[in-house]
Amino acid sequence: MLLGALLGRNVDPVSLDHIALKIARGASIGAILDEITQSEEYLNNFKQPERNMHFGQPRIWNEREYATYTGANKISSIVVVKLDHIGDFILALDSFAAVRAAFPLASITLLCGPWNAGLARSLGVFDRIETADVFGGTGESSLPSFVKESLGYLIDTPFDLAVDFRVYPETRWVLDHLNASHKCGYASGASQSRLTVELPQPINVHSDSLALNQRMLMLSLANAVGAFYGTDAEFSGPALRAKLTGEAKIDPSIHQGKKLVVIHPFSRRAIKNWPIEKFLHLAGWLTSAMGATVVMLGTKAESNSVADLADRCAELGVRSLVGQTSLVEAITLISDADLFIGNDSGLTHVAARLDIPSIAIFSGVAPIEAWAPIGRNLKIVHSPVECAPCYLPNLDHCRAQHRCIATIDFEYVRSQVREQLDVLSRSSWASCDT
């Protein structure tokens, strides 16, 4: 950073680890200056506009990315970028195999240096091999020489997924010129593409750990990408239901011949919860206007937290089983539901993983990216606010009037519930919307 300041250049902080590594390897001041200049020029030329977050307005979190994350969309076309030298290519063999194993039916294109094309063909892993000379045949160049036109028809070819396997950032900007819905690689300031799977750049200047060997780092990326886009069928949906509920059954009369909606309006922390009054209002609308059977779940302690909860549910035609079920019984009931609605709670994670159509309401306490449930039929409702994530332990510490929850209004949640009900193929809901 001091060198950049003395020479009138700005250093991208994300690239500092990479530049530090080059210094440790004995790079000249001229080479470092070239690195700083190229990074600065690239950022100026390709900088994307900031996203409009619309703070304080409820919305569905990352719907497009989340759909792919949970396996609703399949990855059918992949481009793997491995443009460096022969040794780097050999170290990546296990990573290539891992990608093929993770996506056995996908069409996989490799973009590599021309000197590695023959090796690539002999592997039998790739459906198509394209070349671009970025580094040259030797490692003498301090910086790669990239002209986007060298990508040819790949620039306009749509892919579901692009993965750059170079750990260091010299080739990351290639991702910016590939037409891929999802892009993955190690973090760097050299690319302006938003990476769906982005592993942190390793700092290994003074480490003797073989876990930082390039083979292991590339394999970590390959395994992360493969794991990200799919869940084990044995531990989701009907197979998981059988594991978690065993022989437990619910009373079939609980449906009353209607669609079953299960609501869990609690969590272990009040700061994460949408107001109970709004949940009750929603439950009443579901029973009276939508003709649904609504069951409310919760623990004994949660039952005691709301005065006369059972009586209020009865007035609305809602069946309260709060404090009356074991965990297995609650999971069995959820597994038979047509729709689940809840906060950021354990039962919401269960419903999502069982592939029960679900609406989850998230506060701003923690980043959704870190705690999003896994499920094929889940919508996460939240309201972005400037103070999120706050990591506060309870509402007493909140100085923002709980805006992350207060701005999630009843009408928005009801509209999402109605939309979720409408897309159920087996639904026959009443049209009244009062």
> Which tokens hold the place of 20?
């530090």
Establish if 60 belongs to a structural domain: no
Can you give the length of the chain in residues?
434
Going by C-alpha positions, the residue among 340, 352, 353 that lies closest to residue 282 is 340
What pLDDT was estimated at residue 1? Answer: 54
pTM of the model: 0.76
Q: Alpha-carbon distance 403 to 336, whole Å?
A: 34
Give the residue from 187, 203, 228 where a domain finishes.
228
The 3-state DSSP class for residue 322 equals coil
What pLDDT was estimated at residue 230? Answer: 75
Residues 213 and 276 in one domain: no
Establish if 429 belongs to a structural domain: no
Residues 290 and 388 in one domain: yes
Establish if 430 belongs to a structural domain: no
Residues 108 and 257 in one domain: no
> pLDDT 10s per residue in the chain (434 long)?
555 554 454 544 445 555 666 676 677 776 666 655 554 444 444 343 344 556 789 999 976 667 777 765 679 999 999 999 999 999 999 999 999 999 999 999 999 999 999 999 999 999 999 999 888 755 555 556 667 788 889 999 999 999 999 998 889 989 999 999 999 999 988 888 889 999 998 875 556 677 788 999 999 999 999 988 877 778 888 899 999 998 888 888 888 889 999 999 999 999 999 999 999 999 999 999 999 999 999 999 998 888 899 999 999 999 999 999 999 999 999 999 999 999 999 999 999 999 999 999 999 999 998 899 988 889 999 999 999 999 999 999 999 999 999 999 999 999 999 998 888 745 454 444 54
What pLDDT was estimated at residue 47? Answer: 40
Q: Residue 383 sits in a domain of what CATH number?
A: 3.40.50.2000
> Which tokens hold the place of 160?
């579901």
What pLDDT was estimated at residue 202? Answer: 82
Q: Provide the CA 348 distance to its chain's centre, in angstroms.
A: 17
Residues 251 and 205 in one domain: no
What pLDDT was estimated at residue 125? Answer: 96
Residues 384 and 262 in one domain: yes
Where on the phi/psi map is residue 229: left (φ > 0), alpha (ψ -120 to 50), or beta? alpha
Task: For residue 368, give Cα distances in angstroms to 178, 314, 352.
Answer: 28, 34, 15
Establish if 7 belongs to a structural domain: yes
Give the residue from 168, 196, 228 where a domain finishes.
228
Residues 146 and 197 in one domain: yes
Establish if 54 belongs to a structural domain: no
Residues 255 and 384 in one domain: yes
Establish if 99 belongs to a structural domain: yes
Give the residue from 228, 254, 279 where a domain finishes.
228
Going by C-alpha positions, the residue among 358, 329, 256 that lies closest to residue 321 is 329
One DSSP character per residue, 110-149 reads: EEE-GGGHHHHHHHT--SEEEE--SS-SSS--SS----GG
Radius of gyration for the alpha carbons in the chain, expressed in angstroms and rounded:
26
- The domain total for the chain is 3
* Alpha helix stretches (DSSP H) within 124-275: 214-228, 237-245
**Structural domain boundaries, residue 170:** 71-228
What pLDDT was estimated at residue 139? Answer: 53
Residues 266 and 414 in one domain: yes
Residues 210 and 261 in one domain: no
What pLDDT was estimated at residue 206? Answer: 58
Establish if 392 belongs to a structural domain: yes
Q: Alpha-carbon distance 372 to 387, whole Å?
A: 19
Establish if 89 belongs to a structural domain: yes
What pLDDT was estimated at residue 18? Answer: 57
